[in-house]
Amino acid sequence: MAKSETQVAIITGSAQGIGKAIASRIAANGVTVVIADLNEKKAQATAAELGGLAVKVDISQEAEVAALVATVMAKYGRIDILVNDAAIVPFVPWSDLTFTEWRRVMAVNVDGLFLMCRAVGDVMKDAGYGRIVNIASNVFVAGTPNLAHYVASKGAVIGFTRALASEVGQFGITVNAVAPGLTESDGVKESPHNEGFGYVVPMQAIDRKGQPEDIAPAVAFLTTEEARWVTGSLLVVDGGHTRH
Ligand SMILES: NC(=O)c1ccc[n+]([C@@H]2O[C@H](COP(=O)([O-])OP(=O)(O)OC[C@H]3O[C@@H](n4cnc5c(N)ncnc54)[C@H](O)[C@@H]3O)[C@@H](O)[C@H]2O)c1
């Protein structure tokens, strides 16, 4: 396997929404993007659009994550950037929240992110370089209702980001979290969260709906070599909703 001359980024959940905008912005930096998503058809369409590689993966399954990393290493011989964007955001009031539903969210949002960092982090450690960005959410700051399991999962993402940064800085790897506010992604447009704009937008410093393209540049910066002195951080990108 010949090592790719350009940097390679895996962006989970990048078939659509915020992840797709992130992949597009990172590709604009000359990086080869891997569109890693559960939705194979959409992942292929996005990869064709951005000139990258589509890989179908369920990040909550350890064997599938291992297969993804093996596929990327066999094709490119390197993984410089990992953006953990894939997540599920079910709207469930506390009175209806079951343990099964709690576990379902944790399996993707927390276990999946761990599995990706576990597998890709080891590749980065061997290379002595890496940039990991974990997509959190400003709901952790705001304590948004009807999302207790999701809010808890994003709290885990932020805590894990800080702890992992402490351990892998010595290997040239930075780990940061970006917390978007309510954003008009494909997922949000098709869900009850779409109703939230009427409540959230008036609270923002900038009174319009957030778009995936508003989030992507902040993430892309943290994936560059020159972001080398930023690690263990949380960057809130929410139009001034929480002013965190
Ligand atoms: N949109 C918002 O308002 C908002 C706000 C704050 C944070 N976020 C976070 O931003 C990220 C993207 O959100 P979005 O609104 O663009 O989402 P979206 O629903 O539009 O897209 C999510 C993508 O993740 C993929 N995915 C889901 N489960 C997966 C799994 N197990 N394995 C692999 N891929 C999987 C889906 O197929 C989909 O392509 C998420 O981490 C979300 O929590 C979103």
Q: The domain spanning residue 151 has which CATH number?
A: 3.40.50.720
Contact 18, 212 (CB under 8 A): yes
242 occurs within a structural domain: no
Active-site residue identified among 76, 129, 150, 199 = 150
User: Is 143 within the bounds of a domain?
Assistant: yes
Does 150 participate in catalysis according to the annotation?
Answer: yes
Assess whether the C-beta atom of 18 lies below 6 angstroms from ligand 1.
Answer: yes
CB of 188 sitting under 6 A from ligand 1: yes
Minimal-distance CA residue to ligand 1 atom 17? 187
Would 28 be classed as within a structural domain?
A: yes
Distance 95 CA to ligand 1 centre (A): 24
The set of residues, in sequence order, having a beta carbon less than 8 Å from that of 172 and lying 6+ positions away, is 124, 127, 128, 129, 130
* Ligand 1 pocket test, candidate residues 185, 186, 204, most atoms within 8 A of CB: 185
CB–CB of 217/235 below 8 Å?
no
Q: Is 3 part of any domain?
A: no
Whether 1 is in a domain gets the answer: no
Residue 195: domain span: 8-237
Point out the ligand 1 atom lying closest to the alpha carbon of residue 196: 3
How many folded domains does the chain comprise? 1
Lookup result for tokens 């778009």: 211
- Residue 243, SS3 per DSSP: coil
pLDDT in tens, the chain (244 residues): 689 999 999 999 999 999 999 999 999 999 999 999 999 999 999 999 999 999 999 999 999 999 999 999 999 999 999 999 999 999 999 999 999 999 999 999 999 999 999 999 999 999 999 999 999 999 999 999 999 999 999 999 999 999 999 999 999 999 999 999 999 999 999 999 999 999 999 999 999 999 999 999 999 999 999 999 999 999 999 999 999 9
Please write down the long-range contacts of 48-54, taking CB distance under 8 Å and 24 or more positions apart: 49/24, 50/23, 50/24, 51/27, 52/23, 52/27, 54/15
Please state, in angstroms and rounded to a whole number, the distance separating the CA atoms of residues 212 and 183.
6
Ligand 1 center from residue 226 Cα (angstroms): 27
Residue 96 lies in a domain: yes
Atom of ligand 1 nearest to the CA of 186: 20
Q: Does residue 2 sit within a domain?
A: no
Ligand 1 contact, 153 CB (< 6 A): no
Any domain includes 42: yes
